[in-house]
Structure formats: structure tokens, C-alpha cells
Amino acid sequence: MALDMSTLVSLCKRRGFIFQSSEIYGGINSCWDYGPLGVELKNNIKRVWWQAMVNREDIEGLDASILMHPKVWEASGHVAGFTDPLVDCKKCKHRFRPDQLQEKKCPDCGGALTELRMFNLMFKTFMGPVEDESSSVYLRPETAQGIYVNFLNVQSTLRHKIPFGIAQIGKAFRNEITPGNFIFRTREFEQMEMQYFVKPGTDEEWFEHWKEERLTWHKALGLNPKKLQFHQHGTDELAHYAKKAFDVQYEFPFGWQEIEGIHNRTDFDLSRHQEFSGKSLQYFDEATKEKYIPYVIETSVGCDRTLLACLIDAYAEEEERSVLRFHPKLAPIKVAFFPLIKDAGLQELTHKLQEETRPYFLTRYDEAGSIGRRYRRQDEIGTPLCVTVDFDSLKDQAVTVRDRDSMKQDRVSTSQLLEFLRKKIVL
Ligand code: ATP
């Protein structure tokens, strides 16, 4: 049975994963705040991505600023071309994308719609005290451009030969006409992007390479492989910069949808920045003495969409419990510690064991309610292991370790506990 999104939204709120932004003021459309467990999950996804993409010889990390020179967005084509068609309802004033409407009337009130017009998705703001056109800047709609304008900085300072890549994680902003489906489509979101610079002529090979690498990465997150597929962009879907594009799609309860795009952006972006800035962005190949503008293979994954896919994929309702079966590397809390009852001796040993584990894993202590209830609470937030200290523990120096998925219990000696936990939870 497909998971009802409202069940997930309410679990996320109840257990501190995701809250509506500015909730006490009635909320603000399509903006969400990650709570204590949500931020851990998100950080884990980012860490796993960074580990896969940057912990290698041919890729460097970067953290470029969100605000950039306005000419960047002219060069990138976003000022002229980053638009969606839009219609307004004349009666209730709601806005729609005409390609998503079944009829020519407003789906909310049946009112007449305005003529179609193009709407630029970039957020515009002003820099400095004067609010005029010369001071207007944009919030970046993608992180990629921060990488392109730093291409030669990174290449020359780290002395990279082509092929090499630059990776970055950061916020992007799009004034989407129809945000929705919880955190799937929002106006402020986080992207994890990597731009790989290659010699023209080798781009198709590298495209295939990265396409496969990225699908493998999603599977390694623990996502059900049956719910992952590629979707190739037809000529009508291709972005202005792309020669070829594949999406990695996940089967959400609301259908197959993109979580990542892999694009062959050719030399479009670097050539345009060279033209608009007047600065050469050519690469000089020492070995062959050739000068050229590299082609770019882009992998661009939404952190929030990946997180939503992970939540949906991990969620299971069983007879007596609901459980989030996160891969241990993603679980917000890795180990929970319980004294069997509120007894000073048990509490003391539980705290001691927790303190020994704290440098390695995020842990939580819970002594409220029955052991069964405490297990359920941890199951619902996806904690892979729970450690219970009982009266026998004081005598035999052993504790019970309970596994979230199998619900199997192991008796483990306290001197071996840390090693046992570290074997089960590989980060
Ligand atoms: P869509 O067709 O769904 O609008 P897109 O093709 O415009 O997405 P890209 O520009 O390729 O998306 O962006 C790369 C990734 O950034 C997407 O795969 C997605 O995970 C994420 N992303 C893009 N727009 C949003 C958004 N409004 N909210 C959340 N994530 C987004």
C-alpha cells in the first residue's frame, strides 16, 4: 500500500524531523524547518555525498557565496531563459502552470484564467541601501555557477589536470509557481552538485560513467533499487545548456519523480562566462600543448528530495509498531541507552556506557515508560540499536543490545560493547 503523505508529514512533525516554517504565524507556503532529528538526517546525507564525491584524488570541494555578480545570471542564460509559463485566476487570484492544468478554468474556483505569460523563477533582491535596478542581485537558482566562475582558481591553485571535478553543497532558490508535496518542491532548497571538467570528445564516455556512479550511490543509501530508475530527457525537455540529460527518478507515493539530474552541459557555461567576463577560461594542456574550453558533466542532486525519498523508503508499518528502517549511516541517532527501571545503580552504569560511546556516535538516553514503549519510540525515529542495562548487568557486566530490524536481542559484555556497536554501525 502506498504511504499516505499526510502520515509522513505528521510523523515528521511529531518526532522532530520537519516543522512548518514560521508555524506560530500560520506558516509560510512551501517553507519547512528541519528539527533536531531532521538536521541529523540531512547532515548524514550530505556527509555520505561529500565522502563519495570529494574524498578522491580528482575532485575538490568548494563553498561559493549565494549572491553573485548579476552578470553571472545573464551569462548563464537564467535572466533570459529561466522561466515557466504562468496563468492567474481572475477571480481567486491563484496561480498555475498551464501545462499542469486539465481544463482552461481555475481548478480551485472555476474562474476564468488570464493569458499565459512567462515568469522568471529567480528571486531578486537589492544589495546595499539603494533599491534600484543597478543594485539588484539574485539569489542563486543553482549552485553550479559558483563552480564555473571558480574553475580556473581551483584548477590552477590545486594544479589539477583535466579531467577533474569540483563539488559543492549549498542552498538554491527558485520562485516555483507550484511548490508542493511537502519538501519535494520548495522555493528554498539545498543542492549537492559536482561539475566534472573533461576534454571535448571524451564527454560522452564521462557522461555514462557518472550516470552509473550516481545511480550506484542512491542504491548505497539503502533506497529500494526497484524504486529507482533513469529517465532520459527528450529533445523537448532538454535545458538550454544540455546536450544530453538523464534524471535519476524515485517512485514517490505521488509518482516517479526526479531526485537527481545528470547533464552534459558541453562548454556552454564556461564559453558564456568567458564571453561575458572577457577573461579567458581556457585550459592549457601541458602534455599536448593544446588550449581548449573543457566540457562539463554535471551531477546535481537535491538534498531535500533525497531526504524525502529516504524517509518514504524507510517507513514501514507493522502490527505493533511503525519503524523507519534507515541505513545505519543515515539514522539520526545511532544508539539509545536505557536503564531497565529508574534505579540509581542502573542509571549510573547506563550513563557510563553512554559516555564511552558518545565520541563515536550520536546517542540518546531514555528512562521514561516501559522498555517496550521505549523500543517503539526509537523504532519510529529509526535508531538501529538500543542498549538496556538490567540488574544482571551489575553482576555479570553484560547488557542487552536490541536490533531495530530483526528485534533480536544479544547479550554483550560491557567490555566488548563499543566494538560490537562499531561493527554494526559502519558510517
Ligand atoms: P524539476 O523538473 O523537478 O523542477 P529540475 O529539472 O528543474 O527539477 P534541476 O535544475 O536539474 O531540477 O536541479 C537538480 C536537482 O535539484 C533536482 O533533481 C532536485 O533534486 C533539486 N531541485 C530542483 N528544484 C527543486 C525544488 N524546487 N525543490 C526541491 N528540490 C529541487
Q: Where are the domains of the chain?
A: 39-70+126-313, 324-424
Summarize the confidence of residues 384-395 as an average pLDDT.
Answer: 98
Higher pLDDT, 118 or 366: 366
The pLDDT of residue 129 is: 84
The preferred substitution site among 42, 183, 189 for testing ligand 1, maximizing ligand atoms within 8 Å of CB, is: 189
The pLDDT of residue 228 is: 98
| CATH class of residue range 324-424 | alpha beta
Asked whether the predicted pLDDT for residue 194 surpasses 70, the reply is yes
Summarize the confidence of residues 393-405 as an average pLDDT.
Answer: 97
Residue 254 grid coordinates: 505521488
Which atom of ligand 1 lies nearest, measured to the CA of 248? 18
Summarize the confidence of residues 310-331 as an average pLDDT.
Answer: 96
CA of 418 to the centre of ligand 1 (A): 41
Summarize the confidence of residues 165-172 as an average pLDDT.
Answer: 98
The pLDDT of residue 236 is: 86
Q: Which amino acid is at 404?
A: R
Which atom of ligand 1 lies nearest, measured to the CA of 239? 6
Residues β-bridged to residue 297: 196, 264
CA of 291 to the centre of ligand 1 (A): 34
Instruction: Write out residues with Cβ below 6 Å of ligand 1.
Output: 142, 174, 176, 185-186, 189, 191, 258-261, 300-302, 304-305
CA of 376 to the centre of ligand 1 (A): 35
Q: How far is Cα 123 from Cα 243, in angstroms, rounded to an integer?
A: 27
The pLDDT of residue 264 is: 97
CA of 78 to the centre of ligand 1 (A): 15
Summarize the confidence of residues 222-236 as an average pLDDT.
Answer: 96
Q: Which residue's alpha carbon is nearest to atom 21 within ligand 1?
A: 302
Q: How far is Cα 355 from Cα 335, in angstroms, rounded to an integer?
A: 12
Summarize the confidence of residues 387-392 as an average pLDDT.
Answer: 98
Pairing of strands 164-173, 59-61: parallel
The pLDDT of residue 314 is: 97
The preferred substitution site among 123, 300, 303, 308 for testing ligand 1, maximizing ligand atoms within 8 Å of CB, is: 300
Q: 3-state DSSP: the chain helix, strand, coil percent, rounded to 5?
A: 35, 30, 35
Which atom of ligand 1 lies nearest, measured to the CA of 191? 16
Q: How far is Cα 69 from Cα 352, in angstroms, rounded to an integer?
A: 54
Summarize the confidence of residues 226-235 as an average pLDDT.
Answer: 96
Confidence of residue 427 (pLDDT cuts 50, 70, 90): confident
144 contacts 151 by C-beta, under 8 angstroms: no
50 contacts 78 by C-beta, under 8 angstroms: no
Summarize the confidence of residues 371-387 as an average pLDDT.
Answer: 98
The pLDDT of residue 21 is: 96
The pLDDT of residue 1 is: 58
* Residue-by-residue DSSP string for 159-180: TPPSSEEEEEEEEEE---SS-B
Asked whether the predicted pLDDT for residue 294 surpasses 80, the reply is yes
Asked whether the predicted pLDDT for residue 102 surpasses 70, the reply is yes
CA dist list (Å): 234 to 66, 172, 209, 245: 31, 25, 20, 8
Q: Which residue's alpha carbon is nearest to atom 9 within ligand 1?
A: 261
CA of 302 to the centre of ligand 1 (A): 6
Q: How far is Cα 265 from Cα 271, in angstroms, rounded to an integer?
A: 11
The preferred substitution site among 305, 306, 307, 308 for testing ligand 1, maximizing ligand atoms within 8 Å of CB, is: 305
Model pTM score: 0.94
Confidence of residue 192 (pLDDT cuts 50, 70, 90): very high
Summarize the confidence of residues 18-45 as an average pLDDT.
Answer: 96
CA of 348 to the centre of ligand 1 (A): 49
CA of 346 to the centre of ligand 1 (A): 50
Percent of the chain at pLDDT exceeding 70: 100
CA of 237 to the centre of ligand 1 (A): 13
Confidence of residue 220 (pLDDT cuts 50, 70, 90): very high
Asked whether the predicted pLDDT for residue 184 surpasses 80, the reply is yes
Q: Which has the minimum average pLDDT: 13-22, 28-37, 237-246, 316-325?
A: 237-246
Summarize the confidence of residues 319-333 as an average pLDDT.
Answer: 96
Summarize the confidence of residues 115-131 as an average pLDDT.
Answer: 88
Across the chain, what does the average pLDDT equal? Answer: 95
Which atom of ligand 1 lies nearest, measured to the CA of 185? 28
Asked whether the predicted pLDDT for residue 178 surpasses 90, the reply is no
Asked whether the predicted pLDDT for residue 134 surpasses 80, the reply is no
Asked whether the predicted pLDDT for residue 320 surpasses 80, the reply is yes
Confidence of residue 104 (pLDDT cuts 50, 70, 90): confident
91 contacts 109 by C-beta, under 8 angstroms: yes
CA of 244 to the centre of ligand 1 (A): 17
What is the CATH code for 39-70+126-313?
Answer: 3.30.930.10
Summarize the confidence of residues 28-55 as an average pLDDT.
Answer: 97
315 contacts 4 by C-beta, under 8 angstroms: no
